[in-house]
Structure formats: C-alpha cells, structure tokens
Amino acid sequence: MEKIRIVLADDHTVVRQGFRSLLQQDKSIDVVGEAENGQDAVLVVKKTLPDVVLLDISMPILNGVQATRQIRKFNPKIKILVLSMYKDEEYVREVFHAGAAGYILKQTTGSDLIRAIKEVNRGNAYLSPSIAKYLVSDYREIVKGGKSSRKQTGLTPRELEVLQLIAEGNSNKKIAEQLFISIKTVETHRQKIMDVLKIHDVAGLTRYAIAKRIIEAK
C-alpha cells in the first residue's frame, strides 16, 4: 500500500514540527516537504507533487486561500486540507470556492486530523464537526428568512491577494513582482480596494485586514 504523501505549510516552525511528529506516527503517511509561507508552499508542492497539502489559512505573502487557488491551478488532482483557528462562514466558503477539499480547526485532535487527511485523499470533502454544526445553524437562519451573521468583503480573489500584500507593507513594485502583474494593474487594484471598502489609507487597510483575519496582528 502506497503512503499518502503530505506537504505541511505553516509559518510557525513549532506548529509544523508538532504536525510532522504527529503524522509520522501513522505508517500510512509520509511528510515529503514543508513550507513557512504560501508562496513557498506552492513551490514545494510543484517540486514534491504530494497527494495532500496541509495548509494554514493565515500565512504571509500568500495566505491559505490564495495558495490553494494556485496549487489547484497547477494540479487539480492534489487535495488541499486547510487548517484554521476560525469558524467564520466567509472563510469556509472561500476555502472551498478556491478548491480545497477540507477545512479543519487547529485545535482538532490528532486522530481527527489523520482521519481528515485520509478522507480528502480518498476524494471526499471534510469539515471539522464543530464547523459543520455551526454552518448548519447559520443556514437554518437563512432558510427561516433571517440573515447570515457573516458578511462578504465585496472584493475579488485577486483584490484580496493585493490587500494582503499591501497590509504586509509591500510597495506597488514588490506586489507587482510577487503577483507577476504590472505596477499599473496593482495601482488599479489598490484604488478599487479603497473604493469598495471606503478606506483610503494603508493604515486603515491594515487594520481592516487584521480585523478580517486576512493577516495576523504582529
């Protein structure tokens, strides 16, 4: 029986070490690579061609949603399992829209994590039970005629990428290099982001990105 090849991506070294130690206890799993940010995760995946990628949703340069989108574009057969501390419906929806196969909470047990990996490797979707319960409750409110307690940002996936890089302190030139687009296009995205959010300074955009958990507070 072939082992399930895994790439771990989390910007905290201790967290990656903990997951590696946990997964190595299961003889059916082989950790073949690690990455500390979303951009490196994409590169490691292209180099190692794993079966499953375990991605933290909050990473620098490219967050888990953006990295998922790029990995799926590179090879849609690779399964993505996103790790998060948050239950927010908006994040769950974005993760699955980007092409992830599963979404689990970081505080999940080791046995649940291994179960999630094996499920997505089989081609099934996986949600932490507590998230599934939360989403069902929210869906019932919508069916009853109420409104979901979560709101959309109103930004496109590309605009969210640009917003993250702005909030991380990158210049227009650096953002253009990271995303392989022109500086003019970055400026257009920046203006659209400010118009949609009605926030017209970098400090305000940074506060918004932290509040929406697009980046982590330093």
Going by the DSSP 8-state scheme, the letter that residue 89 receives in this structure is H
Binning pLDDT at 50, 70 and 90, where does residue 153 land?
A: low
157-211 maps to CATH 3.40.1130.10: no
CATH architecture of 4-140: 3-Layer(aba) Sandwich (3.40)
The CA distance from 65 to 42, in Å, is 12
Extents of the domains making up the chain: 4-140, 157-211
Positive/negative CA dihedral, 37, 124, 105, 114:
negative
Binning pLDDT at 50, 70 and 90, where does residue 60 land?
A: confident
Cβ-proximal residues to 163 (8 Å cutoff; 6+ apart), any chain = 155, 193, 205, 208, 209, 214
Contact between residue 21 and residue 31 where contact means Cβ atoms under 8 Å apart: no
The CA distance from 164 to 210, in Å, is 9
User: Does 186 have pLDDT greater than 60?
Assistant: yes
Binning pLDDT at 50, 70 and 90, where does residue 218 land?
A: low
The CA distance from 57 to 38, in Å, is 9
What are the E-state strand segments in the chain?
4-9, 29-35, 52-56, 79-84, 102-105, 126-127
**Mean pLDDT, range 69-92, rounded to an integer:** 87
Could you report the per-residue pLDDT of 16-57, keeping only the tens digit for each? Answer: 999 999 998 999 999 999 999 999 999 999 999 999 999 998
Could you report the per-residue pLDDT of 103-141, keeping only the tens digit for each? Answer: 998 888 888 899 999 999 999 989 887 666 555 554 444
